[in-house]
Amino acid sequence: VKLALAIQTTETGAIVPVALLSGAWEEKLAKAASLGVSGVELMTADPAHLDAARIRASIAWHRLEVAAVGSGAVALVAGLRLLDPDPATAAQAQARLSALIDFAAAVAAPLVTIGSFRGRIGSLAEGRRRLVAVLRAAAAYAQARGVRLALEPLNRYESDIINNVAEGLAFLLEVDHPALGLLLDTYHVNIEERSWTEPFRQAMLAGCLWHVHIGDNNRLPPGKGLIDFPAIVATLREIGYTGYLSAELLALPDPDTAAEQTLACMHRLLGV
Ligand code: LER
Ligand code: MN
């Protein structure tokens, strides 16, 4: 497995509470590299304001990879969600997803995450059917550009569609596209699953475990809460997961300390 830290790109403006590392862009990359991670997950609200070629070059200069392009900031900062009840806003969200996929391809990111950005079904008639259709089309768009989409089960307080791995796998069957898989976030696993390890096994067995977010049950760095990270790491190794463990957690007490504490714990657990 490889380690990554979630960081905001420079256009996001508002602070994303689960993004790590402080300072200007180059400083963040230098800090990530000195902490010994292999990659960064980019939390991007609007790629139109970014120079993808420069971002790609600066990341490569620090010998880092882009682990993923995260879409959470699109919902949080730009207020766009795929299931927005207003058709014009939903169309804008769909266009933004295409832009994120193009950006991912331009910075050599393997995948784009679909978490809070999907929104909620709420009272939308046909909401599920709409999400299936939107993600099927987006997966085809992504596949044509060498990118994949990772759908993230979210806890019940954050979304009313796809809360656990079983629902995630059922949804993937409906979409039925090889460029759509799953992202499991330990913080959401803690709220919705029955086991620390079975959800990872199930997703892996289905060939769909493409990305992992780490954060403890209180969304602090691993080791600062109750989640059994040793068991999760042992299982990920046993099942042969070679993707990223990407830290997406509260920047407390500050964005640098949270990153340092995360890596102190993860390096110890991984024995690296
Ligand atoms: C939100 O809680 C989360 O885990 C993000 O990855 C969603 O975009
Ligand atoms: Mn997450």
Q: What pLDDT is attached to residue 72? A: 97
* Ligand sitting nearest the alpha carbon of 116: 1
For ligand 1, say whether the CB of 152 is within 6 Å of any of its atoms: yes
pLDDT of residue 169: 98
C-alpha span between 67 and 118 (Å, rounded)? 20
What pLDDT shows up at residue 14?
A: 87
DSSP codes joined into one string, 73-138: HHHHTT---TT-SSHHHHHHHHHHHHHHHHHHHHTT-SEEEESGGG---TT-TTHHHHHHHHHHHH
**How large is the average pLDDT for residues 156-177?**
98
Q: pTM (2 decimals)?
A: 0.98
212-267 pLDDT tens trace = 999 999 999 999 999 999 999 999 999 999 999 999 999 999 999 999 999 999 99
Average pLDDT over residues 55-68: 98
Beta bridge pairs of residue 70:
43
Strand pairing partners for 42? 7, 69
Q: For ligand 1, atom 3, name the residue with the nearest CA.
A: 115
Say how many Å lie between the CA of residue 154 and the centre of ligand 1: 7
Percent of the chain with pLDDT over 90: 98
Residue bearing tokens 């990118």: 147
CA of 199 to the centre of ligand 1 (A): 17
- Closest ligand 1 atom to residue 72 Cα is 8
Residue 13 banded pLDDT, cuts 50, 70, 90? confident
- With pLDDT > 70 as the criterion, what percentage of the chain qualifies? 100
DSSP class of residue 58 equals: H
Q: How many C-alpha atoms does 184 have within 13 Å on its Cβ side?
A: 29
Residues 6+ apart with CB under 8 A from 25: 9, 10, 58
Instruction: Take atom 6 of ligand 1 and give the residue whose Cα is closest.
Output: 115
pLDDT tens for residues 177-213? 999 999 999 999 999 999 999 999 999 999 999 999 9
